[in-house]
Amino acid sequence: MFFLQFDVPHAVIISNDGLVYLCDRSHNRIQVFQKDGKFIFEEFIAKNTSGLGSTWDIDFSHDPGQKFIYVADGTNQCVWMLERENLKTIGKFGRIGRYAGEFIWVHSIAVDSDGNIYTGEVYTGKRAQKFLLKQDS
């Protein structure tokens, strides 16, 4: 399989098991590598996103296996939730807007040890938000 060169490698994070996850923002994808640079696999996120792309920043859930990945998408103004083992999208939250839970240029994401998700917005967004995902009972 032919893999494109990076265009905008915008965020990089290393999992507890030593894999390197790279957001190639304008190609709308996450690529996974071993630390020695060997390519493992990739998955596109909102593949038809144009402009600045869909994969702006990335973080893992803080369970021991880091089962989930959260991806900030500053073009579609949402946070994508993925299964880490296969990068399949399992959900998303947020939409464009200035109210709580909405985004204007969501640019960064971080998850704390309690599972709270923090986002930062740039340009005209200029704020941070905190989210707590609740499990269905």
**CATH number of the domain that residue 96 is part of:** 2.120.10.30
Q: Does 55 reside within a domain?
A: yes
Q: Does 3 reside within a domain?
A: no
Q: Does 137 reside within a domain?
A: no
Q: Does 29 reside within a domain?
A: yes
Residue 135 has pLDDT above 90, yes or no: no
Q: For the chain, what is the domain count?
A: 1
Residues 10-56 have pLDDT tens digits of 899 999 999 999 999 999 999 999 999 999 999 999 999 998 999 99
What's the average model confidence in pLDDT over 114-119?
97
Q: Does 1 reside within a domain?
A: no
Q: Does 2 reside within a domain?
A: no
* 3 state SS for 12-80: EEECCCCCEEEEEHHHCEEEEECCCCCEEEEEECCCCCCCCCCCCEEEECCCCCCCEEEEEECCCCEEE
Q: Does 37 reside within a domain?
A: yes
Q: What is the value of pTM for the model shown? A: 0.92
